Amino acid sequence: MEYLDLTIKEMHELLKNGEITPLTLSKAALERAYKYQSDYNSFVTILDDALNAAKDLDDNVDNPLYGIPYALKDNISTKGILTTASSNILKDYVPVFDATVVTKLKEKKAVLIGKTVLDELAMGGSGTTGHTGIVCNPWDKERMIGGSSAGSAATVALGIVPFALGSDTGDSIRKPAAYGGLVGFKPTYGRISRYGLFPFASSLDHFGCLTRWVEDAAYVIDALKGKDEKDMTSLPDDNKIYSELLDGKVKGKKLFYIKEIIDIDTKDINQEVQATLDNFNFVLEQCKELGIEVEAVSIEKKLLNALHPTYITISCAEVTSNNANLTGIIFGNRQPGDTVDEVMFNTRTDGFSELIKRRFVIGSYVLQKENQEKLFLNACRVRRIIVDKITELFKKYDGLILPATGGIAPKFDQKFDKLLDRYLLLENHLVIGNFGGFPSITIPSGVVSNMPIGVNITGPILKDSEVLNMAYALESQLGYKGIMAKGGNKNV
Ligand code: GLN
């Protein structure tokens, strides 16, 4: 039996019965990690020490994550373990403390087997900009897995670990989940402490996980949630055990989708987009089968077209400020210079790629005193209008349902026309979840041209358990539960 192909609950049962040990699982995980690394490049660091950690665990199988191997995006601080954020500027950085999520997973006796590649500093959505090279999609090596939690997604899609943590500022967990045939969940803003996560845009950053089953996501979030004194934005625990609340009873729930995002201009529709839209219709039918009512709601196109520019304005402003400490003085791979200014200039010139510099230029521009009112603060106002609109709709509906992406994972050389509706709307609506801090989940909904696609459900804040339960019911109904790509072997 391939233990790593099982669910967390199944592994847990075997551990409890003494049929396997944590070492069995960690060994298998490391074997797969090494086997796939040269082809898919999902890790910055593979931790051989995992075997010792697994060996040293006590025998008390006291929680579902005991002995379960996992991976972490490399923008999550791990004491004594290289943490690079996939950027040259941090290529030698070794944190002196653990992120709270890491402490919690240690307490649960889960076993960390590696740190995964991201788009540099979590900016980007392709998995192609990390300093250790591109990450390939386990379903097709010619395609990207998406990002920025690229390595975490590829690692789970390859069946190396049953779960990996990622961060999500615009869509960075939920988009690679769709491209990798995975479940990607980010709970309500503040549900999980961000202490030790390298900040990108603090008002939008969320922790979350990539798994192959909704139930596994519930186990992971159960282990991570709760108030943390070290993160003042963290929420008090809701004292629910999400995994125990998954009953699939969703009859009578009401969802809406945004008409303007689905009825996109026909000039944007190629075969692949059409297949994605057809799949969405299939999802809607399955919702009906489950007794979930879905209605189309109209939202002013002008507002929807503002989603992406608003995201770019706010996130670039925040990331420019948050990364101002990467100067080579306290943090960052210091480059020589005769003056402090020269050291900072040389360090930043050498340390960041062009894409990052471009975002810092945008961020500095919108934060300039004379531009703040017109650009940054107006973007914040637009964000508020969008969040108010969605929150108002959540009074009537239990959630928003939409295709997670506008198609299958793109090929590495594929270009998007960024002014088309397909891009501005279908590829970018997931930021709604970050604007409002709403819990949001992507699950696999179908296969198009041998590649997976996903559907997304976003719910009202604090309704994490309800969102998980709707996804849980739909996951069974759709029939793509636990699909897996193993080194290109489609296992649907
Ligand atoms: N792709 C988006 C960006 O580049 C989102 C990134 C993220 O969520 N970390 O900003």
The enclosing H or E element of 448 equals strand 440-448
| Annotation marks residue 172 as catalytic | yes
Ligand 1 atom with least separation from CA of 434: 8
Strands (E), 187-300: 206-211, 254-258, 293-297
Pocket of ligand 1, beta carbon within 6 A: 122-125, 148, 168-172, 200, 315
The total of structural domains in the chain comes to 1
- Please check whether residue 319 lies inside any domain of the structure: no
Nearest CA to ligand 1 atom 5: 170
- Please check whether residue 320 lies inside any domain of the structure: no
Average pLDDT over residues 331-350: 97
- Please check whether residue 451 lies inside any domain of the structure: yes
Cα(374) to centroid(ligand 1), Å: 23
On the question of pLDDT at 25 being above 60, the answer is yes
On the question of pLDDT at 116 being above 90, the answer is yes
For 23, the domain range is: 3-252+397-491
pLDDT band at 489 (very low <50, low <70, confident <90, very high): low
Rounded Cα gap, residues 447 and 490, in angstroms: 10
On the question of pLDDT at 488 being above 80, the answer is no
Which of 180, 183, 171, 167 has its CA nearest to residue 125?
A: 171
Residue to mutate (ligand 1; options 116, 123, 168, 173; most atoms within 8 A of CB): 123
| Annotation marks residue 149 as catalytic | no
Nearest CA to ligand 1 atom 3: 124
Nearest CA to ligand 1 atom 4: 124
Residue to mutate (ligand 1; options 152, 171, 198; most atoms within 8 A of CB): 171
pLDDT band at 272 (very low <50, low <70, confident <90, very high): confident
- Please check whether residue 277 lies inside any domain of the structure: no
Which of 436, 177, 397, 407 has its CA nearest to residue 287?
A: 397
- Mean pLDDT across the chain, nearest whole number? 96
Cα(203) to centroid(ligand 1), Å: 13
Instruction: Sort 56 into a burial class: Cβ within 10 Å, 0-12 / 13-18 / 19+.
Output: exposed
Q: b/e map of 412-439 (b: 16 or more CB within 10 Å)?
A: eeeeeeeebbbbbbbbbbbbbbbbbbbb
Q: Decide: helix, strand or coil at residue 338.
A: coil
Cα(61) to centroid(ligand 1), Å: 37
For 353-371, how does the pLDDT look when each residue is reduced to its tens digit (9 = 90+)? Answer: 999 999 999 999 999 999 9
Question: What does the pLDDT read at residue 492?
Answer: 54
Average pLDDT over residues 31-49: 97
- Please check whether residue 352 lies inside any domain of the structure: no
Which of 282, 295, 296 has its CA nearest to residue 474?
A: 282
- Please check whether residue 487 lies inside any domain of the structure: yes
Average pLDDT over residues 48-64: 97
Residue to mutate (ligand 1; options 86, 118, 119, 320; most atoms within 8 A of CB): 119
Q: Strand 69-73 relative to strand 163-168: parallel, antiparallel, unpaired? A: parallel
Average pLDDT over residues 370-386: 98
Average pLDDT over residues 233-239: 98
Stated length of the chain? 492
Which of 27, 29, 13, 63 has its CA nearest to residue 162?
A: 29
Q: How many helices (H) and strands (E) does the chain have?
A: 18, 15
State the CATH number of the domain containing residue 150. Answer: 3.90.1300.10
Catalytic one of 77, 126, 148, 440:
148
Cα(171) to centroid(ligand 1), Å: 6
Which of 352, 342, 462 has its CA nearest to residue 399?
A: 462
Catalytic one of 172, 193, 234, 315:
172
- Please check whether residue 57 lies inside any domain of the structure: yes
Rounded Cα gap, residues 182 and 385, in angstroms: 32
Q: How far is CA 127 from the centre of its chain?
A: 12
Cα(324) to centroid(ligand 1), Å: 19
Ligand 1 atom with least separation from CA of 125: 1
Instruction: Sort 202 into a burial class: Cβ within 10 Å, 0-12 / 13-18 / 19+.
Output: middle
Distance between start and end Cα atoms, the chain: 18
Question: What does the pLDDT read at residue 491?
Answer: 57
On the question of pLDDT at 487 being above 70, the answer is no
On the question of pLDDT at 406 being above 80, the answer is yes
Question: What does the pLDDT read at residue 145?
Answer: 98
For 197-218, how does the pLDDT look when each residue is reduced to its tens digit (9 = 90+)? Answer: 999 999 999 999 999 999 999 9
Ligand 1 atom with least separation from CA of 172: 8
Which of 266, 107, 101 has its CA nearest to residue 186?
A: 101
On the question of pLDDT at 443 being above 60, the answer is yes
Query: 355 with 131: CB under 8 angstroms?
Result: no
Catalytic one of 26, 73, 108, 463:
73
Give Cβ neighbours of residue 238 (< 8 Å, ≥ 6 apart): 225, 462, 464, 465
Ligand 1 atom with least separation from CA of 204: 8
Cα(72) to centroid(ligand 1), Å: 17
Question: What does the pLDDT read at residue 306?
Answer: 96
Question: What does the pLDDT read at residue 485?
Answer: 82
| Annotation marks residue 87 as catalytic | no
- Please check whether residue 331 lies inside any domain of the structure: no
Ligand 1 atom with least separation from CA of 200: 9
- pTM score over 0.75: yes
Cα(315) to centroid(ligand 1), Å: 9
For 150-175, how does the pLDDT look when each residue is reduced to its tens digit (9 = 90+)? Answer: 999 999 999 999 999 999 999 999 99
Ligand 1 atom with least separation from CA of 171: 8
Q: Strand 111-116 relative to strand 69-73: parallel, antiparallel, unpaired? A: parallel
pLDDT band at 422 (very low <50, low <70, confident <90, very high): confident
Tokens at residue 100, please?
């709270």
Question: What does the pLDDT read at residue 134?
Answer: 98
